[in-house]
């Protein structure tokens, strides 16, 4: 009996861990909602401009420790796979634009950092907890979504990215 409770508890714990890492209301299998956002460099970028490439979009906030860990991992992925057809976009959903820009500059990543100053993107992508990462295939369809970040998650991203780049 005790062993059954232990095994049941471990299974429940694993299910909760997986559930907290998966995205909520899903946009999986749907066209990625298009957006136009101003970048750290002052230029506007539109998601749909990258049709034909695999796009990783990472929504983040400067106050989230997971974002601080994730951004360097995404930068390494960007540097390695951009020539193969991957585009990485970081999207700040912070309320304080000035502090968000300071944080983005300090992180020094090589991929474009964009700033969402409204609330529509959050609604379109069902943003809940930060960071949230999605992968969009060459046709513009969301094929992967994850909420939060733990060390080692970049291996999952790489598996998904390689799969999409081969298609």
Residue 60 in contact with residue 148, Cβ under 8 Å? no
Closest to 56 (Cα-Cα) out of 114, 118, 129: 114
Closest to 54 (Cα-Cα) out of 77, 84, 74: 84
pLDDT of 21 reads 45
Measured in residues, the chain has a length of 167
pLDDT in tens, 141-156: 999 999 888 888 889 9
Q: Is the dihedral of CA 139, 140, 142, 144 positive or negative?
A: positive
Grade residue 25 by pLDDT with cuts at 50, 70 and 90.
low
Q: Provide the 10 A C-beta neighbour count for residue 14.
A: 10
The helix or strand, by DSSP H or E, that contains position 76, with its residue range, turns out to be: helix 65-81
**136 pLDDT exceeds 50?**
yes
- Domains, the chain, with CATH or none: 25-166 (3.40.30.10)
Q: Is the dihedral of CA 114, 45, 160, 111 positive or negative?
A: negative
Tokens, residue 129 = 């907890």
How far, in Å, CA of 139 to CA of 8, rounded?
Answer: 41
pLDDT in tens, 43-66: 999 999 999 999 999 999 888 778
pLDDT in tens, 102-126: 999 999 999 999 999 887 888 889 8
């Amino acid at each position: 009996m005790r062993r059954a409770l232990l095994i049941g508890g471990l299974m429940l714990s694993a299910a909760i861990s997986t559930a907290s890492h998966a995205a909520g209301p899903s946009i999986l299998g749907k066209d990625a909602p298009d957006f136009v956002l101003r970048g750290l460099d002052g230029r506007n970028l539109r998601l749909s401009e990258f049709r034909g490439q695999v796009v990783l979009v990472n929504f983040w906030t400067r106050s989230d420790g997971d974002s601080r860990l994730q951004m360097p991992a995404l930068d390494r992925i960007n540097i390695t796979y951009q020539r193969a057809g991957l585009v990485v976009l970081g999207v700040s959903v912070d309320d304080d634009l000035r502090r968000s820009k300071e944080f983005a500059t300090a992180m020094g990543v090589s991929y474009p950092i964009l700033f969402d100053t409204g609330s529509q993107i959050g609604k379109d992508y069902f943003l809940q907890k930060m960071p949230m990462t999605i992968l969009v295939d060459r046709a513009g369809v969301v094929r992967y979504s994850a909420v939060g970040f733990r060390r080692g998650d970049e291996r999952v991203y790489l598996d998904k990215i390689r799969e999409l780049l081969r298609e």
